[in-house]
Amino acid sequence: MTAPSYPVIRLKPKANARALRRGFPWVFANELVLDRRTKALEPGTLAVLEDHDRKPLGVVGVTPGSKIAARMLDRDTEAVIDAGWLSARLERALALRTRLFEAPYYRLVHAEADGLPGVIIDRFGDIAVIQPNAAWADTALDALCEALVQVTGVTTILKNSGGRGRQLEGLDDADAVLAGSAPDAPLPVAMNGATYMADLTGGQKTGLFYDQRPNQAFAQRLARDARVLDVFSHVGGFALAALAGGAASALAVDGSAPALALAEQGAAAMGAGDRFATRQGDAFDTLTAMGEEDARFDLVICDPPAFAPAKPALEPGLRAYERIARLSAPLVAEGGYLVLCSCSHAADLSSFQGACLRGIGRAGRRAQLIHTGGAGPDHPLLPQLAESGYLKALFFRL
């Protein structure tokens, strides 16, 4: 096979080529020589990246106008990024998931950690929902779908364009059906003995959050005979897992009426509707109101959206996490449990834990930290990229 003729882009003299050689997958715009020729490259163009001394580093996908100007795809500068190349990456990703899970419901591709930068693929049986959050993947979408069908045998592929990453790459926000036909009703998904109703076309992200699966399983162990409060519940994430674990009752709080309706459907499907209730409203306002009502629960879980998705939002984000802890801690009965979660890339574990402990302390409570959780193994962490280990779950006994 003839080696492809890629354009060449080059690092600035002070760019950290060593980090790239050791596995860091991103090249930031301020590290790249953005001359007229490089700026003229179409987003999604494949190129050979060289260091300042013209030594090749690998094949990258280029987005000249993005903060992440290039993403490493292959160390081999003669690699052909086609359906065959994509199939090899997908086969490697699939091999891990089939070893871990009996049923095909999982995150199949976790972006950089699976060697497909910017690509998220969640699998729901014969349906795959893909988020191509990098320009190179959007350009290669037809080949990626071809490889996905070949490797997994899925019959339906849905494109979800709602990710923040697509905005940063200058990509459109149009969802699409790329293969097969979209389901006309929410899809029941079994996890940890609970039944979740996943809206694959109108729900948040890809329709269901698989990353909290092990943390929901741990919370389930604390939920037996307990009164449970699940704040930012979405489609019932922790609440339904708690009911499957024998909780006496579970109350789900969320701002989205459609999400809570799906949670109610899930509770009914698993025969736990009589122990389940919902409360729609802003989480901060609802927690404040519950405090004024002297409400008490044996297990309280708060799993908010990312308050600090990027570094500029870090300080206000940490204050928000502290406030959540301060408002939720008084609702926990003596000897009960408080679970606080963060999916913020910019807030590392130490910063997040500090904010939580400040909030708990300001509420006049003392805490034991009994468990620290992260995302499940279908969300592998790329050690060289701290952002891939975004999820943190802290389990406290108060």
324: DSSP letter: H
State the Rg of the chain over Cα. Answer: 22
d(CA 8, CA 309) in angstroms, rounded, equals: 32
DSSP 3-state assignment of 316?
helix
Tokens coding 249: 């009752």
Instruction: Measure CA 305 to chain center.
Output: 10
Strand pairing category for 297-302 and 227-231: parallel
d(CA 180, CA 21) in angstroms, rounded, equals: 40
> Is 343 among the catalytic positions?
yes
Query: Which entry of 302, 341, 343, 356 is annotated as an active-site residue?
Result: 343
Helix (H) or strand (E) holding 84: helix 83-100
d(CA 376, CA 270) in angstroms, rounded, equals: 23
For residues 186 and 199, the answer to whether their CB atoms sit within 8 Å is yes
Buried b (16+ CB within 10 A) or exposed e, 356-372: bbbbbeebebebeeebe
Q: Which residue in this structure is represented by tokens 């052909």?
A: 80
First to last CA, the chain: 64
**Residues involved in catalysis:** 343
